[in-house]
A and B are shown apart, each in its own frame.
Chain A
Amino acid sequence: MAMTDRRRSRRDDGPGAAPPVEIHVAVPDALLEQLVTEHYDRLLRLARLICRDASDAADAVQTGLEQGWRRRSALRSDASARAWLDRIVVREAVRIARSRRSWLARLLHPSEQLTWIEPPDERASNGLDRAALRTAFAALSPEQRAVVALHLHLGYSVAETAAIVGAPEETVRSRLRLARQRMRPQLVEVDR
């Protein structure tokens, strides 16, 4: 095999892995379990914010964790693993969210989350109309929701967020600024 073959085979981490001749019963790998245990909840919450759909969020996380496991050799530390997984899941979640956003796509893939009539949620701040907030948040682009979720929910800095979403810092700041601008009318501070 020429050297070029070798390098490309190292790069091409395509999906799929089943036996050519035998089927074995899977026993979850300890490392995989550890990966899921440590990161699953955070990744699911992150994807949920971007996708606005539980099923899509779970799909994005599954893809991210699977890729994370397959490229486990590249994970040198817990810190890098966290940011790396967040990056994969964010990009997958944005991709899924974008594919779901047209009215035709929503018709084909109805979301359980599109029911706005709900009892008040005590976790939301007093004085806030949570339904209006959700509407405003859902009106943001997936890319904007990703930036808001990474920066304000997970606490990444602007620079870290830019690295994760693969955009210049200016773009991240711009998305944050404009997301705030869009959300601001729904978040009024009432003189009491």
Chain B
Amino acid sequence: MLHTLSIDELRQRLDSRQISSVEITRHFLARIERLNPALNALITLTAEEALAAAAAADSRRAAGEKGPLLGIPLIHKDIFCTDGVRTSCGSRMLDNFIAPYDATIVARLKEAGTVMLAKANMDEFAMGSSNETSYYGPVKNPWDTTKVPGGSSGGSAAATAARLAPFATGTDTGGSIRQPAALTGVTGIKPTYGRVSRYGMVAFASSLDQAGVFARSAADAAIVLQAMAGFDPRDSTSVDAPVPDYSATLNAPLGGLKIGLLREFFDGLEARNSALIHDALKTYRRLGAETVEVSLPHLPLSVPTYYVVAPAECSSNLSRFDGVRFGYRCDSPKDLFDLYTRSRGEGFGAEVKRRIMTGTYVLSAGYFDAYYLKAQKVRRLITDDFRAAFARVDLLIGPTTPTPAFAIGAKINDPVTMYLNDIYTIGANLAGLPGVSLPCGFVDELPMGLQLIGPHFSEAKLLNAAHQLQQATDWHRRSPRGYE
């Protein structure tokens, strides 16, 4: 079945003319039509554009062009600007916004010949861990549709798990790729801060946001990351460093790899979650890795640090939504103040408003030093802890989430409880480090993920370690019932 093939297997069939990109695209569009209504994973379907792009890819191939992604379909998280196509960020504020340009990663993936099927549902403006804050309704987890898929890239994760596309793009500011990847049983990678361009990616927290990939294997993720990564002069935080060939080192042997067990992550970790990670560690030792315990003493402060820094940055970034130049405008504003306050009050959902207000508070006169400046100092302490650990080990391992997917509605009314879902993922964002989540088993018949974190620009090693585990186990091949 086409939707069970890897990206490379699809490419082989395309290259040998067994199948065309148009046929592959039709297959996935049919799956979307049949399966997406139960999941609500998508906001905008671009079927006509997809068929046109597929035909163009077929022509490029007929003219002799080759490429690992030529003619391969994908789904983009609805946070990436896509020229001529609605880009809503899961918000009423941008429900009527047609992006007038392509984000850099969209342009790069287009250039590589990919076919965009749809824009994926997401937590509003990337703020959430369950995809319940979307203006377009919650996304359901294909493993159990009463459960959340995680967030904020819940639509991208659910679509990848349900095989509505071979892969999807996402963004990760506090865990929004890794956490939903874990809850939906797929592989998700957040690159190093500065590795992938943020140009055209609607900003939430500028010092934390990174674009990344959802795929069903590390090998697939490596192919996609290759096309996305690299310097972009249009992003002032883009790093001008060479991009290695991620696929070339997937099979490098792990002999001598030092993996650090993060003590603070294993303290108090639920037994079944812990057991799955220890099983993976047994496999890693068998493959030649050594494991060592490491301690990052400031790591438990990551969640409060994040919930000062991220809202502060979001309050600044979201000030551009003012009802003047684009986006939602309230009816009959009586003056400028009314235009601003009601366009924003009506256009934004509750979580977004909460975070804007938290940010405004921590940046306001009299509170700036106590909160924002303090949080920035703690951020440095956390980053220094990671640096010290990486002097002793090559990679860090731990859980991705505290629990498997929880029920829709269970946590949405208690923001702090919701925030604690990010407890294992946030540290990597604060330090700008790359991290990958890969499936490692099941708890209560729901998928669980383990997380690998590496030093800056160690994506090749992360993907190599993830791939080696996936050669020895088959958790990543499992499919939710009804989506096989």
Do A and B interact?
no
Give the B-binding residues of A (Cβ under 8 A): none
